[in-house]
Structure 1
Amino acid sequence: MSNRLFQGIIHQMSDAIDRTIGVIDESSVIIACSDLTKIGDVFEEAAMEAMNSDDVIVSNDYTFKSFGNRQRPAYAAFVSGGDPDARRYVRILAVSMENIKQYYDEKYDRGNFIKNVILDNILPGDIYLKSHELHFDSEVSRVCLLIKVSDKNEVSAFEVLQNLFPDKNKDFVININETDIALVKEIRPDITEKDIDKLARSIVDTLTGEFYAHCCVGIGTVVSNIKELARSFKEAQTALEVGKVFDTARDIVSYNNLGIARLIYQLPTTLCEMFLKEVFKRGSIETLDHETLFTIQRFFENNLNVSETSRKLFVHRNTLVYRLEKIKKLTGLDLREFEDAIVFKVALMVKRYLTNNNKF
């Protein structure tokens, strides 16, 4: 659609500018031009120079000026000649093209509309009006996934995801910032949480395995109304934030599976500090060494089973019992008792939360 939009403006301006004028994309292909025979031709190396510069570039007797997204311009206007008039014309042309594209995106682009919805940049009362104007089905089930790419790579994760989800009428891949990409996916009523987890796993495996771009994915809840997409997006953000604190080993975190970690994450830090002081009246949690904490973690993972834990740790059963008695003596909590184990597990999570916030 942009090509036709640009061509219409070029056609109108060609009478005022007595030169060859046009627009190229990031591959240096001419997508609009006052000389129709040149559409489809390629400017060698021109795009690379123009896209990497905010200034006017002169190459092969043509003057270029990029426009569009400031972080990564997708287009450049060009005017034949390299004289001062050509520089002035190309600036005017670039500004005109950028403004008309921005207007078009705001008015007709579905991807831009969805981005405004999930970022709460549109009034709730305008959502249905806009979705009706864009012939957008607002009453189907969708889920929001947030992909955070931690390693900078030559391969664009945004482009990879666009290729993975090419149906732009149902699935929307949205650039949030340099590291975060949102995927708003339309799903069928029979799709389960397990299916969504598999979808997230395929994204991680593709980016990590094929393109060596380390990433993690946060999954919001499924919503049945377009107005609720912002909530699903915020839940995906929360899932990543909570996962970063409490479960750093996982690269896929679902909001529905955060459990008690979500509750702790929402508590005031002052309340958490009071809780730790009450739990560890006899001695600070800091008195427990790394080996002891590792033993506790394995004990919890094996459902408080002494025999199974000792087998997994390759220690004698009596050695494990001695360590548990030592913990009881230091903290007053017997981890073999279910209630004490719960309190200690929550205390460890609270301690991790406070450490992450540099409050403890």
Structure 2
Amino acid sequence: MISNQILQNTIDGLKSITRIDLSVIDTDGQVVASTYPDSDGCEAEALSFVDSPADSQVVQGHQFFKVMDDQHLEYILLAKGTSDDVYMIGKVATFQIQSLLVAYKERFDKDNFIKNLLLDNLLRVDIYTRAKKLHIDTEAKRVVYIIETKHEKDTNALETVRTLFASKSRDFITAVDERNIILVKEVKVGETYEDLEKTAAIVIDMLNTEAMSTAHISYGTIINDIREVSKSYKEAKMALDVGKIFYSQKNVVGYSKLGIGRLIYQLPIPLCQMFIREIFEGKSPDDFDEETLSTINKFFENSLNVSETSRQLYIHRNTLVYRLDKLEKSTGLDLRVFDDAITFKIALMVVKYMKYMESRDNY
């Protein structure tokens, strides 16, 4: 169904071109859009016209037209005046609204199809049958983006994304819940994951400037067949969660760049607890003071380079060595040794994951 605002914009545009007043009345006799105030007195005539076999008629200085949608009466259009020119404009307006009904119904059908595709609610044979009926290419390369906005039901953000991709008829924008906007984007020949990252950055910038909205974006892997859209969607969902845990400083996270975080995210919590207990003998690696944690993180950032880490921390090299020795005594892990460093890094990530899951369960 077309919104009343769309109908109002349509007849306002037609009046500005033709200077003919128009009004749209629904089958219950209610005026839903009008360019002039005295159309309110025509409801009774409109209701009588609903039962008339005629497609158009002249009543009390107005020409009445039936707006049909697939042989079903949707609206009554009124054109003010009785001349042949008014009749012609009325027919044009009727055709325009009927075309809008078809376009919006097709968009609605495509939207439903994409939603069911994302949620894996369709049989394989139904996917190809419905895609063919809706003129959707089944073999185009695509990728799924999830755009999570700060506020629920952020209509400004949704309209901004729709506007950004409005000219690209092979892309689909929908929503499966109140916070996430889903973009199923066609991937052109030669496009890489770096290009997908740039597209996400453009969307972030547009949302910040146009919709005054902050967002996080994740995306799945590029797929080659329409039945794999749900796979890319599930990957994007995982990337969104993993990004919140391990890459909270990033606004854009791709599934292909999740690294070891993707593996940790799929571990059962009891196994994580056992790992921490066995490695640290009941202690937790995040129980260290702020100074020790900042030293550890900086050491990892600099690929276990003692000289560069001490320089960036503005401390003497021997001071850093002393801190690392102290850490080794308390944990049994020497971060200057690659295997021990990997163990400690994974432990930190496991603890982050456990805390995230605990907070989500409490929420």
Q: TM-score range by the shorter chain?
A: 0.7 to 0.9
Larger Rg: 2
State the shift of 1:139 in Å.
Answer: 0.4
Aligned to 2:254: 254
Q: Distance in 1 between matches of 2:266 and 2:331?
A: 26
Aligned to 1:169: 169
- 1:29–1:41 CA contact under 8 A, matched in 2: no
- 2:141–2:223 CA contact under 8 A, matched in 1: yes
SS in structure 1 of the partner of residue 144 of structure 2: strand
Sort the Cα spacing of 1:123 and 1:155 in 2 relative to 1 into closer, same or farther, 3 A: closer
> In the TM superposition, what whole-angstrom CA distance separates every residue of 1:63-117 from its partner, at most 9, and x where no partner exists?
4689xxxxxxxxxxxx946999x99xxxxxxxx969xx89x84897323322221
SS in structure 2 of the partner of residue 173 of structure 1: strand
1:272 and 2:272 aligned: yes
Q: Distance in 2 between matches of 1:337 and 1:200?
A: 38
State the shift of 1:27 in Å.
Answer: 7.3
Aligned to 2:263: 263
Amino acid at match of 1:222: I
Q: Distance in 2 between matches of 1:260 and 1:280?
A: 20
Aligned to 2:291: 291
- 2:277–2:283 CA contact under 8 A, matched in 1: no
Q: Distance in 1 between matches of 2:244 and 2:339?
A: 27
State the shift of 1:240 in Å.
Answer: 0.5
- 1:31–1:39 CA contact under 8 A, matched in 2: no
State the shift of 1:348 in Å.
Answer: 0.3
State the shift of 1:120 in Å.
Answer: 1.9
- 1:219–1:239 CA contact under 8 A, matched in 2: yes
My pick for the range that moved more, 109-118 or 330-339, is 109-118
**Structure (1/2) with the larger helix percentage:** 2
- 2:236–2:254 CA contact under 8 A, matched in 1: yes
State the shift of 1:154 in Å.
Answer: 7.8
Aligned to 1:214: 214
SS in structure 2 of the partner of residue 354 of structure 1: helix
Sort the Cα spacing of 1:81 and 1:330 in 2 relative to 1 into closer, same or farther, 3 A: farther
Amino acid at match of 1:354: M
Sort the Cα spacing of 1:271 and 1:30 in 2 relative to 1 into closer, same or farther, 3 A: same
1:130 and 2:130 aligned: yes
- 2:131–2:138 CA contact under 8 A, matched in 1: yes
How many residue pairs match? The answer is 303
SS in structure 2 of the partner of residue 336 of structure 1: coil
Aligned to 1:196: 196
State the shift of 1:40 in Å.
Answer: 7.9
Sort the Cα spacing of 1:226 and 1:316 in 2 relative to 1 into closer, same or farther, 3 A: same
Q: Distance in 2 between matches of 1:290 and 1:40?
A: 72
Sort the Cα spacing of 1:215 and 1:274 in 2 relative to 1 into closer, same or farther, 3 A: same
Aligned to 2:341: 341
SS in structure 2 of the partner of residue 174 of structure 1: strand
Q: Distance in 2 between matches of 1:166 and 1:107?
A: 12
**Matched residues, percent identical?**
43
Q: Distance in 2 between matches of 1:201 and 1:42?
A: 44
Q: CA RMSD in A?
A: 3.9
Sort the Cα spacing of 1:133 and 1:107 in 2 relative to 1 into closer, same or farther, 3 A: farther
Q: Distance in 2 between matches of 1:254 and 1:203?
A: 14
- 2:286–2:351 CA contact under 8 A, matched in 1: no
- 2:310–2:317 CA contact under 8 A, matched in 1: yes
State the shift of 1:285 in Å.
Answer: 2.4
- 1:106–1:112 CA contact under 8 A, matched in 2: no
State the shift of 1:191 in Å.
Answer: 0.6
SS in structure 2 of the partner of residue 249 of structure 1: coil
Aligned to 1:51: none
State the shift of 1:328 in Å.
Answer: 0.6
Amino acid at match of 1:309: T
Sort the Cα spacing of 1:65 and 1:265 in 2 relative to 1 into closer, same or farther, 3 A: farther
Q: What TM-score does the superposition give when structure 2 sets the normalisation length?
A: 0.72
1:178 and 2:178 aligned: yes
Aligned to 1:25: 5
Sort the Cα spacing of 1:278 and 1:39 in 2 relative to 1 into closer, same or farther, 3 A: farther
Amino acid at match of 1:310: S
Aligned to 1:7: none
Q: Distance in 1 between matches of 2:351 and 2:42?
A: 65
Q: Distance in 2 between matches of 1:107 and 1:251?
A: 30
SS in structure 2 of the partner of residue 25 of structure 1: helix
Q: Distance in 1 between matches of 2:121 and 2:31?
A: 33
> In the TM superposition, what whole-angstrom CA distance separates every residue of 1:116-150 from its partner, at most 9, and x where no partner exists?
21122322220001111122210010111110111
Aligned to 1:309: 309
Q: Distance in 2 between matches of 1:202 and 1:250?
A: 14
- 2:286–2:348 CA contact under 8 A, matched in 1: no
Segments of 5+ residues of structure 1 without an aligned counterpart are: 4-22, 44-55, 57-61, 67-78, 88-95
Sort the Cα spacing of 1:83 and 1:251 in 2 relative to 1 into closer, same or farther, 3 A: same
Amino acid at match of 2:4: I
Amino acid at match of 2:9: V
> In the TM superposition, what whole-angstrom CA distance separates every residue of 1:309-340 from its partner, at most 9, and x where no partner exists?
01111111111111111111111100000000
